[in-house]
Structure 1
């Protein structure tokens, strides 16, 4: 089976890497905070001290990182080490510009696939993520099948683009629900009644996400995603929503908490 290097073992990366290890792939792992790799190493993953060491003999490289800056730092170390025939699957939410920049840095014979995911930590652990894959996925679809269902989105960068569209809609919907419920409170309405009315309408999915329990889409990462989206197009509504979440993320207790926690904060405050 292909040797896989998995770089980035955060809340999403760790359960994804564990599924590949359980499937029998020889796996080397790296994380900026080494302690996060220890549970996987204890279960058989190869311990590495740097990204370059992790990818040296890999057939497939998978990155699940916090954002474009983290991807650039890893690419500085990794790109010179990749041999022809290696496939790099970039699964972070970084936007299409970062994907295209990464593609320009890779040597001949190295294939890049952009494959960001839809779903939270529970779906990562279950292997039921939605994978939005841009580029030539043929060589790695059997690997990605351990992580979820692949939707081919088109040429390289299209997966990253569609992920921005989806996340912008989700975060915007959660922000709108929070403000609608804040309006309900200002008008003296019962919160449960207002929530039920919103859930019965076209915003039902956003209501569910605003009150999700057990999901983890950190508020500071949501702010990062909206910042990337706003750099691509003029988005006045998203700009307003982003400012609300940015203010919530100024609280360290909310910054790394799920956006549902930030939504609860927005409902209560002006």
Structure 2
């Protein structure tokens, strides 16, 4: 089988467009695969897969070989009259119906083209009606010192550190020296900003009781050990600005309108059909009888 000589064209879309009819592989009985054929297969794949194939010549060659083999096998099947067999004809019929039904759905989707004004109206209405969806929770900035382990000695060590802190010791320095949380210890115990409810309950409850920046908690026990927590700052829960969620809501509206259009079109088709319950029951009875 001939090796791929024009695959390099795929790496340059401008050149490829000029060579759509370039034959990339040619076999017996006039079976060929063109650049356009290869592109058509590529475009049915996810974008990341396309990029991977276009940068791996051997995998792209395999795809090209598969297209050729599929086409050559189909031609041989036709010559053997396999396409005339009832089972094959039924599968071809189903495949054709699936392709056309997919195209029909695409046409329905394409008919949905809401204007900016309608999208904005939906977005503002949803923004006002569902405020909880767009609320940033209360947030905290805090530091902590963790003495790992549940022993009495560890608790005593944490209590001693708390006494030192209340006497004026530097929290950041003690965190670097003594905290068992490697992620924050190097940063002086800094946990950054995080929403309420992110931490384990005992930690979260103790932090919630601190009101002013600089406040220290009592020694708090969790499953990790003993903590001393220092509040650095807190932000009240607040609504996100409409401008932050506008695009999200526009996209949501498009999906909703598209789904409604599909349901309407499908409903119209369904309303034109009339089932025969007696005939369906007779079918079920006949099929059951075959299996007994």
The TM-score, its normalising length taken from structure 1, stands at: 0.20
Q: If each structure's helix is expressed as a fraction of its own residues, which one has the higher value?
A: 2
**Radius of gyration: which is bigger?**
2
The TM-score, its normalising length taken from structure 2, stands at: 0.19
